[in-house]
Amino acid sequence: MRKFNIPHKFEFTSIIQLYAQWIREGKLPVNSDWNRDLKIRFTVQDPCNIVRKTLRTEMADELRFVIKTLVGEENFIDTVPNGVNNYCCGGGGGALQAGFPEQRRAYGKVKFNQLMETKASYVIAPCHNCHAQIEDIGEFYGGHYHVMHIWTLMGLALGILNENERTYLGPDLKTFGL
């Protein structure tokens, strides 16, 4: 709508933008204290739809602000390239459901190699397709990372992550804070 100047009376907002706003306003009392001694390293996947195609640099910056607030800037390792120039994971556009896993995984090898370069223990994947694809290529190619949703990280930082919400956590965080 913005691209073609189509009049509208609503604003497109992502939950990530709201998280950033609420953190800045003090309404979401999170910090990275929980990870100060653990020093667990995190990276992020920039989803094509909300970063590269829609909100672009603004979304990439907000995403990194939220994650750095939650894990500590020193524990965040960015991918190269990143933001609007980041690589697609290969799972979107119906690829996960298309029935061609060999091709999807071959395409995703570029993303896998990029993630492995970070040496991060966790990949934050705000998009469900990215999450499933990055988890799959990690298992397929023998990756050493875990993939988690941003809400899981938020819950961990808030100290409210329940026992049944820890599916995607590795042994280093599976029981942390319980």
Q: Structural domains in the chain?
A: 29-165 (3.40.50)
Q: Cα separation of 132 and 61, whole Å? A: 23
Q: What is the pTM of this model?
A: 0.91
Note the pLDDT tens digit of each residue in 102-134.
999 999 999 999 999 999 999 999 989 999 999
How many CA within 13 A on the CB side of residue 94?
2
Torsion of CA 38, 43, 49, 53, to 10 degrees: 130
Q: How far apart are the first and last CA of the chain?
A: 45
**DSSP E strands, 62-108:** none
Per-residue confidence band for 96, with pLDDT thresholds at 50, 70 and 90? confident
Torsion of CA 75, 140, 80, 131, to 10 degrees: -70
Residues 130-140: what's their mean pLDDT?
96
Residues 39-62: what's their mean pLDDT?
91
3-state secondary structure 99-117: CCHHHHHHHHHHHHHHHHH
The amino acid at 74: E
